[in-house]
Amino acid sequence: MGWVGLRSHAVVVDIKARGAKGDGKTDDGPVIEKAWKEACGGGPSPSSVLIPPGTYMAYPPILFSGPCKGPVEIKANGATIKAPPELARLKSDSWIAFQYIDRLSVIGGTFDGQGHEAWKNQKCADTALSCQMPVNLRFSFVKNSLLKGITSVNSKYFHMVIFACDNINIEHAPLIHRSGDDCISIVDGSKNVHIEKLTCGPGHGISIGSLGKYANEQPVQGIWIKNCTITGTIISGVRRIKSWPGPTSTPGTTTDIHFEDIIMNNVENPILIDQQYCPSNRCNKASPSKVKISNVCFKKIR
């Protein structure tokens, strides 16, 4: 069977037992999604999806959706999950997405976006808005969750987007490198996000925003980034806050932001707060951004 235990106890779903090949060629995405659905519906006790060591191809989009009946852990130590390199196969803004989940844990694993072909595309290089560029990992409406020891490489666009999440801890991400844009983008509605012992770069660093583009955006607050190393970022280092200017800019707030013990190597702009954010000049800068930024703390930045 693909799971061990009774329904009244913890459910463990081994994707290899469920039919995943792990040969780096076969699309194992449907098996991974099926394993998630079983664990998510397993009951109030903690459940887990086991991705054994191996290389797994996963065609997008891969969706891990809740709500679940109890806590769910994805264990992927020693496993590498790969996206197809061709942009034509990517019909979504995300390769792997997690949404509406309480008490999620993702432990270990390497997520390889295979972005080399996308980086060569000049149309996409000029602006990702002109072509479909998926992020490696997207978290939306996820709360009380832990991401530990994961590695994200070669993302076609952002490595990670955190949207409307509450109480998220990202720890010991030993290598998040080479991306088409941000290492991590924290966008509206996110609060109580803790990032520690992350290695990021090259790329665009860690960003909050962009903000102020859409109506009814919720505040970003309670962001803590500690003991991180940022290397070779071309736009900004650890700190980039982006908000849109102009008459269409919408009100918003960003507050209670903390950066501590950050090492930066070969970084173009270690700290960049940009309230005139206007990629490819697609906005009107005649009036300022309506996003209020306050209570931002920097400590031991070097």
Question: With 0-12 CB in 10 A as exposed, 13-18 as middle and 19+ as buried, what is 21?
Answer: middle
Q: Which residue type sits at 95?
A: W
Query: What are the catalytic residues?
Result: 204
- Please give the biggest Cα pair distance in the chain: 63
Q: Are strands 151-155 and 206-211 parallel, antiparallel or unpaired?
A: unpaired
| 97: three-class secondary structure by DSSP | strand
- Cα–Cα–Cα angle for 228, 104, 155, rounded to 5 degrees: 50
User: What phi and psi, each to the nearest 5 degrees, are found at residue 153?
Assistant: -130, 150
Closest C-alpha to 35, from 44, 53, 25, 47: 47
d(CA 290, CA 299): 27
Please answer whether residues 290 and 247 qualify as being in contact, where contact means their C-beta atoms are separated by less than 8 angstroms.
Answer: no
Is omega for the bond preceding 294 within 30 degrees of 0, making it cis?
no
| 102: three-class secondary structure by DSSP | strand
| 281: three-class secondary structure by DSSP | helix
Measured in whole angstroms, the distance separating CA 249 from the mean position of its chain's CA atoms is 25
Q: Which residue shows structure tokens 């235990």?
A: 5
Number of helices and strands in the chain (H, E): 3, 23
